[in-house]
Chain A
Amino acid sequence: MQVKLRVKRFDRERDREPYWAEYEVEAEATDRVLDLLHSVKWYQDGTLSFRRSCGHGICGSDAMLINGRNRLACKVLIKELGKRISVEPLRGFPVVKDLVVDQQAFFRKFESVQPYLVAEEPPPARERRQSPEARERFDDTTKCILCAACTTSCPSFWSNPNYLGPAAIVNAHRFLFDDRDAGQEARLQVLNQSDGVWRCRTIFNCVEACPRGIDITRAIGEVKKALLLRRT
């Protein structure tokens, strides 16, 4: 079938402002939006820029605004969208070119919550063991692929780019509730800043946007509760 693909394009060396480019693409109903973008780039206009790596919903490279919602281009099928499809870069990040956005600040925030195991004891001879129950506690937040769909769907983040954002909080949650971890204090200190978890207004956009189905607002709520019970 014939799909009309609209892409919001911008080349800061050439264009004064972003513009919509339209492409007619031949596609199957079971193709993904990523296939449409490939088709345009490989056969129609090689200057179109976008990120993608694994193409199977795991690397988190190709999150973009598709028909007004944040999704992974490699996960959403044409038949779910219809014959008219619009694609825009993620909102709230500076556009580098076309669908490629600058994620430096995003990853700096991610790093600020120490998203790795902070252990006091030296590593044992084999792995650090954990009961299935203790592992279950943070199972949901291990699923994050850092695609930034949540953070860039968050109105609190749009209005205040200093907000830590749901993705960083999810990754803090992953280690906060890990019983082998000893880095709680440093992490909670970052989360308790006025631009930390308290900017979350429980709008739930992040939950709708997450391609991994993580219950993000719940995770943020659990972090708030952890801060509360620690302080009072």
Chain B
Amino acid sequence: MAELSATGGRERPAGGLELYAWLFMRVSGIALLLLALGHLAIMHLINSVDEINFAFVAARWANPLWRLYDWFLLFLALLHGFNGVRVMVDDYVRSPGLRVVSLVALYSLVLFFLFAGSLVILTFHPLAGS
């Protein structure tokens, strides 16, 4: 339906990507609220920050469910923030060159952090440090 292009110019792929991005922002926002509040309660209210050390993390991560919790927190926070910045670049960076540079930097940074964080959560072995 090329004649229906909103801009009267070249039609951009519709695919529904922005729809899912929009839905993801809302769902992950709610999930992050619960996860982050839980994280805050565990780290700052139930336990004092002074008591949190290597042994504390090792004991907690002995249970894979806590690793899953932290992994969710990491993934959702990174992707939620990533999508927010992506949208801002999309809205405000008009020069094509700068767009490419900022999007490449953004994607690389997020992929790196997702990789590094996942690596720690999945391969952490308490005995290796003791």
Contacts and interface: CB of A to CB of B under 8 A. Distances in A.
B1 A189 contact: yes
Contacts of B14: 189, 192-194
A204 interface: no
A201 B88 CA distance: 10
Interface of A: 105, 108-109, 112-113, 156, 159-160, 162, 164, 168, 186, 189-190, 192-196, 198-199, 201, 224, 227-228, 231-232
Among A189, A194, A196, A201, chain B packs the most CB atoms within 10 A around the CB of A194
Contacts, number: 68
Contacts of B97: none
B120 interface: no
16 contacts: A109-B7, A112-B5, A112-B8, A168-B6, A186-B1, A189-B14, A190-B1, A192-B16, A192-B19, A194-B13, A194-B17, A194-B18, A198-B21, A201-B91, A224-B22, A231-B19
Contact of A190 (B6, B13, B18, B91): B6
A193 B11 contact: yes
Contacts of B6: 109, 112-113, 162, 164, 168, 190, 193, 195-196
Given A109-B6, A162-B9, A189-B14, A199 B91 contact: yes
Contacts of A190: 1, 4-6
Interface in B1-48: 1, 4-9, 11-14, 16-19, 21-23
A231 B16 contact: yes
Interface band, chain B:
20 to 34
The 5 closest A-B pairs by CB, nearest first: A198-B18, A162-B7, A164-B6, A108-B8, A194-B18
B92 interface: yes
Nearest to B22: A198
A159 B91 contact: yes
Main SS at interface, chain A: helix
B23 A195 contact: no
A194 B16 CA distance: 8
B3 to A, nearest CB: 9
B92 A159 contact: yes
Nearest to A199: B91
A190 B5 CA distance: 6
B125 to A, nearest CB: 40
Contacts of B22: 198, 224, 228
Nearest to B18: A198
A119 B18 CA distance: 29
Contact of B12 (A186, A193, A224): A193
Contacts of A198: 18-19, 21-22
Contacts of B23: 228, 232
A67 B41 CA distance: 49
